[in-house]
Amino acid sequence: MVIKTQGLILKQRNVGEKDKFITVLSRDRGVIEASARGVRSVKSKILSGTQPLCFSDLTLYEGKSSFVVNDAQVLESFYNIRLDIEKTALASYFCELLGFIVPSEEEAEGYLRLALNTLSYLCTDSRSPLFLKTVFEWKLMCLSGFAPDVTGCDSCGESDGEEFYFYPAEGVIRCRGCAVSGEQVRFALVKPVLAALRFMTQADLKRLFQFKLEEKALAYLNTITEYYTLYHCGRGFHSLDFYKNLPRAPQ
């Protein structure tokens, strides 16, 4: 059976001399693997459309156990990301996370839109990489069924106090009066950070990137979103380690 879909190429793995396997976040089938035959010869018509980080129109032949790429035409290459090592590293982390989290065999419109919107912003300089990492991690966890409840205190319902704590293991917040200390990891939330968590949880994909936070608060918010992501994935990611270990100019 031949299917037409659109997808973001998450990674590739060379096979033999001319073929490769690609992992794709497809609109209609979630994350799938497909073999691209003869793609590494210079004459291949599907060479560009099967490069990692390309968003492509795909025609796939669905075999018994895997897909074969019949055609792949680039819709968006996110070229500007490739010119910057920090952006490239961050995009690789996004791709690795998506490959791990998004299920197969179901439509993935929400995941795909989140990925494409984030990469589009990463292409421009209108949002910082750290801001995009924060928003992407949080919304990805929300989409994949780990949406925390940050509306009010998990114990008493208080929603407007001065001091709250976020408990990543349970995905809840508690007010100062109800906060339990002890062994559990928890993050103290000042008002702007809690407001940002609430906004990212509730905002649809159109509004998601429309908020601002000052630099220190953003760095702290990112500590929370990264911890939450890795905790619920139950693992670390090489691409994240690489991104974090990049030499950066002193601030």
Q: Which residues in this chain contact Zn ion in the complex, by CB under 5 A?
A: 153, 155-156, 158, 175, 178
Q: How far is residue 111's CA from residue 219's CA, in Å, rounded to a whole number? A: 24
Residue with smaller CB distance to Zn ion, 87 or 174: 174
Pairwise CA distance, residues 22 & 52, whole Å: 8
Shortest reach from residue 155's CB to Zn ion, in Å? 5
Least distance to Zn ion, CB of residue 165, Å: 10
User: Residue for token digits 């509306």?
Assistant: 151
Give the span between the Cα atoms of 95 and 98, in whole angstroms.
Answer: 5
Nearer to Zn ion by C-beta: 112 or 193? 193
Q: Which residues contact 201 (CB under 8 A, 6 or more apart)?
A: 138, 142, 147, 148, 150
**Residue (161 or 192) nearer to Zn ion, CB:** 161
DSSP state of 179: -
Q: Whose Cβ is closer to Zn ion: residue 84's or residue 163's?
A: 163
Closest Cα partner for 66 from 20, 16, 134? 20
CB of 186 to Zn ion, least distance (A): 13
Instruction: State the sign of the Cα–Cα–Cα–Cα dihedral 221, 195, 206, 212.
Output: negative
Closest approach of Zn ion to the CB of residue 182, in Å: 16
State the number of CA atoms in the 13 A half-sphere of 133 facing the CB. 27
Minimum separation from the CB atom of position 166 to Zn ion (A):
13
Alpha helices, DSSP H only, in 48-108?
A: 85-101
**Most distant pair of Cα atoms in the chain: their distance:** 68
**Which of 62, 63, 46, 64 shows the shortest CA–CA distance to 9?**
46
Task: Tell the smallest beta-carbon distance from residue 77 to Zn ion (Å).
Answer: 49
Least Å from the CB of residue 164 to Zn ion? 9
Choice between 156 and 190, CB closer to Zn ion? 156
Return the number of the residue (68 or 195) whose C-beta is nearest Zn ion: 195
- Round to whole Å and give the CA distance between 186 and 197: 15
CB atoms within 10 A of CB 49: 24
Q: Which is nearer to Zn ion, 44 or 155 (CB)?
A: 155
